[in-house]
Chains A and B, each alone.
Chain A
Amino acid sequence: KAGVTQTPRYLIKTRGQQVTLSCSPISGHRSVSWYQQTPGQGLQFLFEYFSETQRNKGNFPGRFSGRQFSNSRSEMNVSTLELGDSALYLCASSLGGGADTQYFGPGTRLTVL
């Protein structure tokens, strides 16, 4: 079975721009979660989608948004980029329950200049 894939792997943007990151989950997984990883704040939960609906949301501003498609693929969007948005963005997929293992993709490294 193919693992979780994320595209692109690396991205450089400038302040004020917007960016869209993509995540393809493991086949059969209906839940996709997004996390932001930075040296200062560590791993922080952004949001989770399950069957095209946002089920959980972390404590991030509204500039961070996401969606999930009928094939479970997910995208996250960050508008009006700030320098502090530079991070590794990780996507994880699972069957959907809290006890289910989340399988992580390799991440997208976003640099905001």
Chain B
Amino acid sequence: AQSVTQLDSQVPVFEEAPVELRCNYSSSVSVYLFWYVQYPNQGLQLLLKYLSGSTLVKGINGFEAEFNKSQTSFHLRKPSVHISDTAEYFCAVSQGGSQGNLIFGKGTKLSVKP
């Protein structure tokens, strides 16, 4: 069975500092990987996704993630965060094919302080 582990439940960081949100997954088959962001009282918005090809994926709002197959990781990074990046971030996997369901990690709450 697939599973996703987000290693940090909360990450506090100062504005303009770099940040990395960690995600590891387990799966016996090839997967597609996603990062979503959820602002308070809102649904989820896609930041980026990895399907195949280049292991470095660039997304919206200056975020990027690197797929590492040997370490089964898909960590999210941003070189300089803003107050507006304060939100909860979810890593998710999809088995692909006709499987339309996502398996989510527990989420990481990013808190950006001035």
> What residues make up the interface of A, taking CB atoms closer than 8 Å to B?
4, 31, 33, 35, 42-45, 48, 50, 55-56, 58, 90, 92, 94, 96-107
Contact = CB atoms under 8 A, between A and B. Distances in A.
Contact of B104 (A42, A56, A99, A107): A42
Contacts, number: 71
Given A43-B90, A45-B101, A56-B99, A101 B46 contact: yes
Interface residues of B, number: 27
* Majority secondary structure, B binding face: strand
Contact of A4 (B43, B51, B92, B106): B43
Given A42-B106, A42-B107, A99-B51, A90 B43 contact: yes
Contacts of B90: 43
Contacts of A97: 96-98, 100
Contact of A94 (B36, B44, B100): B100
Contacts of A33: 100-102
Given A42-B107, A43-B90, A98 B43 contact: no
A90 B46 CA distance: 14
A94 to B, nearest CB: 6
Residue of B41, B42, B44, B90 with most partner-chain A CB within 10 A? B44
